[in-house]
Structure 1
Amino acid sequence: MPVSHQGNAVTNAVTIVSESVCEQVMGRQDAFTAIENVFAAMAKKDACNFPVVREAIGHADAIYGFKSGFDREGKVLGLKSGGYWPGNTRLNLTNHQSTIVLFDPDTGRLKSLVGGNYLTALRTAASSAVSIAHLARKDSKVLGMVGAGHQSTFQLRAALEQRNFEKVVAWNLHPESLPVLAAVCEALSVPFEAVNRKALCAQSDVIITITSAFEALLDSDWVKPGTHIACMGTDTPGKQEVDPRLFARAKVFTDEVVQSITLGEAQHAMAGGIIKETDIVPIGDVINNARPGRTNDEDITLFDGTGVGLQDLAVASVAAELAVSENLALVLDLD
């Protein structure tokens, strides 16, 4: 099976884009545009996520699954395969491992294999950034970060590009991890302060939660009017980051309503009868100007970022195109 660099004429070619190449070619603005476009397509019913498969495999304590979908507007078809291996830390590997597979929607033939680890972090951060761009107050000055894990630095960098933030405040269950956020702020000349959760809410105009918590970390009464909150950690039944009562005070938006009420942050407010499914607005409707987002500076807006397969496919498609254009992709000729 011959292997060639992209640029040669290849018949029935499969493009391969490694993790390192993804990091070379794919930036935050590329991811932001791809996610914004796919959210807009989802809201117009031009893109559809298929049912998620997620299972414990009974080996290495791993959770393995598939997210897939089709973006008719962007002509992107495929799936992300991967999961969570908790023992990978001991092997100096990332716990989350994934690969994105793209197919030609006209023929069904394999089109691209793209490393998914870096892109997953990038697209998750882009989702909260899109929510900030469309929902946060224009004069937001203080950014609050709840969580300081691997994903947090991606979130922080993407968020800081959306508003003229003058300060970052942060809390983490294990405060010894907070220096990773402080280092990003130092590099970008943004003041940083470690605070408790109540103080974080009192100061912040925008809050990003990015944890693996199974209990409310932020009390509704702490959140001041005008705040935008992006809840990015809850993607499984039982997980929770904020007080469900906050949903009664907030205008609620999400990437996909079905996931929001079943495995996203809204699952708890739904179970408690605090909100109805119809109270949740797809953020794509705001992007498309089909429904309003924030209507005044006193609104509390909440984005429930559950993570959908179409996000992965969107960024992988762009990464593959960029890798090809920069002659960094590898190609397998399957003929």
Structure 2
Amino acid sequence: MFKVKVLNQEVIKKTLGMKQVIEGVEKVYTLKAEKRAHVWPMIFHEFEPGVADMDIKSGYLKDADIYGLKLVSWYGENPKKDLPPLIGTTLLFNMKTGAPMGLLSAEHITGMRTGAAGAIGAKYLANKDAENFLMVGTGHQAPFQIAAILMAMENIKTVRLYDPLNFEKAKELEGNIKGLLKEEFLQYYKEDEETYNALKKKFNVAFEAVEDLEDAVKKSEVITTATPSRKPMIMKEWVKPGTHISCVGADMSGKQEIDENIFGVAKVIVDDVNQATNVGETEMPIKKGIIDESHIIGEIGEVMLGNIKGRTSESDITVYDSTGIALQDLMISNLAIHIAKEKNIGEEILL
């Protein structure tokens, strides 16, 4: 029998702070660039198109001696049954023995690592003095993206909020976001006075719900898109020189958030070339012949290591295609398990 750590969502929230998650995801990207971590091909299956599907992302982290997978199921009819439409589970294994190590709820970890990923794209590709951030999409992922951006970027002063379907949702988030940032991200650091005060200052920015996306894009230097859109929302002619865009929503073939023509004038960096060209924001520009794979400068880890250059001038338009890779889930799940053991929280079962 094997001792397996089991962590539910509430326990995981007690183990993870966004600063540590950003650091963990940065480490993942550099390990991948150094060929010390590997992503295996993604598996996707539709049980019923538009109604129920699942995907499996997997890989291994050599330095951490772990491998594993995250399985995410989407059942669109679940809310009618008082169940969440998206259900995720992560499994971790010891790479030296193959023994199971952990079984974790994936929802909060996915939110945290996805927020960190979008912010890391901005941290390494946006102009450092950028002050205006636009969040496109006001759903579950938005607070994670906003918290991570404010932690990763030094000079953001205004955060604009745009919902592509309902302006009232953007207004609602405008009213709630400061409370969400405090309760969901700041409170984790309440025992660390220095960090708490530094983050409290960073979170003290202006939030503004907007109805006119074109105007908001023209006013923004950093943009994150996190929607399930299948048609472009941001047009090429709206994007001013020097803008950075982190595209987070496209994680399945056919999804698209920004005009494919932006790719023709942008410097494009991705988290994983294979995923980006098959299921990411980069898929449509390639399929429509705007660019080919050679137009992709490289992966974000290579930028972080200095092996390649992303932004080379203040006027560059940069796009970061963040599809989400299993290595993020494995690294952050492993971190959660270690912290849970230190705090003696969560359950341990014999399997």
* Category of TM-score, reference length = shorter chain: over 0.9
| Alignment counterpart, residue 190 of structure 1, candidates 187, 205, 209 | 205
- Distance in 2 between residues matched to 1:162 and 1:275, nearest whole Å: 30
| Alignment counterpart, residue 325 of structure 1, candidates 318, 339, 342 | 342
1:157 aligns with 2:147: yes
Please give the residue correspondences for 1:69-80 in structure 2 after superposition, counting only pairs within 5 Å: 69-80=59-70
CA-CA distance at 1:58 after TM superposition:
4.1
1:131 aligns with 2:121: yes
CA-CA distance at 1:167 after TM superposition:
0.7
Please give the residue correspondences for 1:302-321 in structure 2 after superposition, counting only pairs within 5 Å: 302-321=319-338
Which letter maps to 2:254? G
Aligned to 1:101: 91
1:262 aligns with 2:282: no
CA-CA distance at 1:180 after TM superposition:
4.4
- Distance in 2 between residues matched to 1:13 and 1:234, nearest whole Å: 37
Task: Find the residue that maps to 1:57 and give its secondary structure.
Answer: strand
- RMSD over aligned Cα, in angstroms? 1.7
Aligned to 1:26: 16
Aligned to 1:276: 292
Which letter maps to 1:177? K
The TM-score, its normalising length taken from structure 2, stands at 0.88
- Distance in 2 between residues matched to 1:217 and 1:204, nearest whole Å: 15
Please give the residue correspondences for 1:157-176 in structure 2 after superposition, counting only pairs within 5 Å: 157-163=147-153, 164-172=155-163, 173-176=165-168
Alignment deviations for residues 49-80 of structure 1 (CA, whole Å, 9 cap, x no partner): 11111112249932122111111123220011
- Distance in 2 between residues matched to 1:201 and 1:266, nearest whole Å: 20
CA-CA distance at 1:184 after TM superposition:
5.0
Change (3 A) 1:206 1:109: same
Aligned to 1:7: none
Q: Do 1:145 and 1:156's aligned partners in 2 also have CA atoms closer than 8 Å?
A: yes
Which letter maps to 2:217? C
CA-CA distance at 1:88 after TM superposition:
2.8
Q: Do 2:19 and 2:151's aligned partners in 1 also have CA atoms closer than 8 Å?
A: no
Q: Do 1:153 and 1:184's aligned partners in 2 also have CA atoms closer than 8 Å?
A: no
Change (3 A) 1:299 1:106: same
1:179 aligns with 2:196: no
Which letter maps to 2:158? K
- Distance in 1 between residues matched to 2:217 and 2:28, nearest whole Å: 31
Please give the residue correspondences for 1:288-299 in structure 2 after superposition, counting only pairs within 5 Å: 288-299=305-316
Which letter maps to 1:171? Y
Which letter maps to 1:303? Y
Aligned to 1:122: 112
Task: Find the residue that maps to 1:294 and give its secondary structure.
Answer: coil
Which letter maps to 2:347? L
Aligned to 2:52: 62
Q: Do 1:43 and 1:282's aligned partners in 2 also have CA atoms closer than 8 Å?
A: yes
1:16 aligns with 2:6: yes
Q: Do 1:153 and 1:180's aligned partners in 2 also have CA atoms closer than 8 Å?
A: no
Q: Do 1:67 and 1:81's aligned partners in 2 also have CA atoms closer than 8 Å?
A: yes
CA-CA distance at 1:254 after TM superposition:
0.8
Q: Larger relative contact order (C-alpha < 8 A, sep ≥ 6)?
A: 1
CA-CA distance at 1:185 after TM superposition:
4.6
In the alignment of these two chains, the number of paired residues is 324
CA-CA distance at 1:197 after TM superposition:
1.1
Task: Find the residue that maps to 1:114 and give its secondary structure.
Answer: strand
Which letter maps to 2:316? D
- Distance in 1 between residues matched to 2:92 and 2:325, nearest whole Å: 15
Change (3 A) 1:331 1:185: closer
Alignment deviations for residues 161-219 of structure 1 (CA, whole Å, 9 cap, x no partner): 22221111122121121134313554443222222111111110100001111101000
More helix by share: 2
Which letter maps to 2:166? H
Change (3 A) 1:183 1:237: same
- Distance in 2 between residues matched to 1:118 and 1:146, nearest whole Å: 20
Aligned to 1:286: 303
Alignment deviations for residues 1-46 of structure 1 (CA, whole Å, 9 cap, x no partner): xxxxxxxxxx831111111110111111121111111111111221
Which letter maps to 1:236? M
- Distance in 1 between residues matched to 2:132 and 2:340, nearest whole Å: 36
Which letter maps to 1:134? Y
| Alignment counterpart, residue 85 of structure 1, candidates 75, 85, 89 | 75
Q: Do 1:60 and 1:87's aligned partners in 2 also have CA atoms closer than 8 Å?
A: no
Q: Do 1:126 and 1:158's aligned partners in 2 also have CA atoms closer than 8 Å?
A: yes
- Distance in 1 between residues matched to 2:78 and 2:236, nearest whole Å: 36
Aligned to 2:253: 237
Aligned to 1:210: 226
**Percent sequence identity over aligned pairs:** 33
Task: Find the residue that maps to 1:149 and give its secondary structure.
Answer: coil
Which letter maps to 1:78? G
- Distance in 2 between residues matched to 1:279 and 1:184, nearest whole Å: 40
